[in-house]
Structure formats: C-alpha cells, structure tokens
Structure 1
C-alpha cells in the first residue's frame, strides 16, 4: 500500500457557489412508485465565484424522491442569469442522507452541522457559445450545505 495518489486522480478547483432560497415543499405521498416525491421551487438566489449572477426566481426547482432507505435522490433544474446577461441552464442530480436525527432536523428546517449528513450533486450546464462555454465542457462536483429554507452548493470543476 502506498500513500501516493493515483496517477490519474483528478484535481478539483472551486468554480462558484450557488446560494438558493427554496419555496415550501409540496409532497406526493405516496407517488406512483410507492415512495414520496416532493416539488420545491427555486425562489431566488445568487451565484458567486468564477461566474457571478442570480438564480432566476421561479425558473425551476428540485423534484426529489425520498427513497425507502431514507436517501433523498435529487433532480434539480433551474436557470442562472449572469452579470453579463448570459442565461445558464443547470440540471443537477445527487443524494442526501444522514443520521435519522439529522434528517429529522432538516425536514423541520432546523440547522444541522455539515458532518452530520452527506449531500453531493453532479450538475450539467447548457450555456450559449461565448465566455462561459467552458461550463459545457467540464465535469463538476457540488458539495451542498443544507441551511434552513435554503441550500448553498459549492461547485468544483474537475481538472
């Protein structure tokens, strides 16, 4: 066994952070799958980092599935408007899980320490040709923070 990283281990570089305020969830209990499906809209938000702008209010949202094992399976889609007027479409999939206590706190919109849960996402972007087209050509990983009434997602570009 060696302490050396794998020669093809990717490097990560912080690209930007999205702080997004969410509406109250609407639930389908049970959904056609027998599990719980929710709908939560992107009320507003901001984008800060290598790109800067806003989350266009009510331009989309997240439609998570609460699986039988308690894992939340995210499916989010919404739009950014960058400071230069460019519109960016984001589609993101991911998972959130944690201890029963942490998940109960989050469902009540209470603060939870980041080490009490796992919340990771993998986004894809659709951006017009131009200065932000690099978003179309890279893989990103998001590490998310659940804060009361909102999410803060730190996106890292895989180099």
Structure 2
C-alpha cells in the first residue's frame, strides 16, 4: 500500500458543459507543418452543483492542432452565460489521443467510441465577473472530457 502524498490535491465536481460543435474547417498543412482546424461552438448547456447556464452560441470555438503522432492539441475559447445572466469567458487547453489507429479513425469519422478508448483532458481558465461566480477566476480546474458524435461533454473538477 502506498501512502498518499500530504500535498496531493483534493478535487470537487463543479459542473459539466455539453457543447455542440459546428463543421470543422481544416488548414492542411498549417505553417507549423501539422493540421490546424477551426470548429465553432454552436450551442451547449452547463449543468452542475456549482454552475448552470448555457454556452453562448457562436461566441467562439476550438482551434485544435492535429499532430503527426495522433495527439490533438486543444485551444478552445468561448463564452458561458450563467442562469443569472452573468457572462463568463472560458479557455480550455488540453490533449486528446486514441489508444489505437482503429479508434482514431472512428473518432475522425465522428463515430461513437468507448470512454476508455481514448485520453481527453483539459485545463480550463475562467474569467468571471465580480460577484457569485468570481470563485471560478480564483481556482484551478481539471476537465475530463467525453467525445460524443458532433459534440464534447466536459466534466469540470475544481482543485481545492
């Protein structure tokens, strides 16, 4: 049995964002030599114990870089609107990669795959207004994401 490090982070589930994605636009190859995409955030919902609201339609999107080794390097930016009307800016960076070439092909074709068939994690930053959502701009979060056909579902955990 291993002892947990005394500084191991504690995390608490905060909310889930289910985001519908638009048509991808590809730049092949980009100036970096990899493939770059632009995918708009069409709509979405925010649901959880610490935040509820919507994704502001067409307020941004994801601009991933697809590397030759199969890793997708995310850079997503868009707005959330809390149920009380507050606007919150979100930036996600992270990585997705499939466990094998067959699963990677299914994901590229927007087919359903099992959650254990890939790795998809993000580290978000939030810019929230002063008031009840300000806590989001003061904490570190980790997002565990699901790739579903035509959408992403990201479960956010606040590091305490």
Q: TM-score, normalised by structure 1?
A: 0.98
Residues paired across the two proteins, number: 158
Matching residue of 1:96:
96
Aligned to 1:21: 20
Tell me the CA shift for residue 152 of structure 1. Answer: 0.2
Question: How far apart, CA to CA, are the structure 2 residues paired with 1:55 and 1:103?
Answer: 27
> Counterpart in 2 of 1:11?
10
Unaligned runs of 5+ in 2: none
- Scaled by the length of structure 2, the TM-score of the pair is 0.97
- Compute the displacement of 1:142 (Å): 0.2
Between the aligned partners of 1:24 and 1:147, the Cα distance in structure 2 is: 15
- 1:70 correspondence with 2:70: yes
Runs of 4+ in structure 1 off by over 2 angstroms are none
C-alpha distance in 2, partners of 1:34/1:97?
A: 19
Counterpart CA distance in 1 for 2:3 and 2:103 is 35
Residue 24 of structure 1 aligns to a residue whose secondary structure is strand
For 2:66 and 2:38, locate their aligned partners in 1 and report how far apart those are by CA, in whole Å.
11
Q: CA deviation at 1:24?
A: 1.1
Q: RMSD of the TM alignment (CA)? A: 0.7
1:34 is matched with which residue? 33
CA distance in 2, matches of 1:39, 1:155: 23
Task: Look up the match of 2:137.
Answer: 136
Q: Which runs of 5+ in 1 are unaligned?
A: none
